Amino acid sequence: MKSIVIYYSLFGHTQKVAKIIAKKLDSDLLKIKSEKAYNIATAVIEGKNDIETKHLPKLKKYNFNANEYDLIIIGSPVWWDSITPPIRTFLMENDLSEKNLKFFSTFGQSNGHIFSDAIEILNNLEDVKAFNSTKTNNNHKIKMEIDDWLG
């Protein structure tokens, strides 16, 4: 079974989870980047506006062919209770409606409504998992949580 972990990460927490999952499942790994990169200041101000308006930032070129994969795992940090704009763009520009999907988030305080927002786009998404970003500093804990989720 061929799988891929596709993620966006600004500060590395989501990337850490994505890499552990990819290693566990021997998956490909794809980091999504917007053409105009966010930083802490622009994420807080422009990111909030982009989320409220569901703006789709242009992404840096990436190589992805959904037909190559039996399982697609998507990871996003929670921003303002929702999906990060680069992941929203990715989900809007790729048809994943026939795919076996999993979706994970990393969050600081609360997972918000990221999963219902993801399911609104990905009607076939049923398997979701939230990771508290503080736990990503503890390799053992985060690996146990990933094992619990993915078996």
Ligand X SMILES: Cc1cc2nc3c(=O)[nH]c(=O)nc-3n(C[C@H](O)[C@H](O)[C@H](O)COP(=O)(O)O)c2cc1C
Among 7-15, 61-69, 86-94, 140-148, the segment contacting ligand X (CB under 6 A): 7-15
Nearer Cβ to ligand X (28/81)? 81
Say how far apart CA 50 and CA 8 lie, in whole Å: 15
Report CA Rg, the chain. 14
Nearer Cβ to ligand X (3/9)? 9
Number of residues counted as binding ligand X (CB under 6 A)? 22
CB of 85 to ligand X, least distance (A): 10
Joined together, the tokens standing for residue 49 give 């506006």
The reply on whether position 133 binds ligand X by CB under 6 A is: yes
150 close to 116: Cβ distance less than 8 angstroms? no
CB of 97 to ligand X, least distance (A): 26
* Distances in whole angstroms, Cα of residue 63 to Cα of each of 4, 49, 122, 123, 128: 12, 28, 20, 24, 24
Binding site for ligand X (CB under 6 A): 9-15, 43-44, 47, 77-81, 106-110, 112, 133
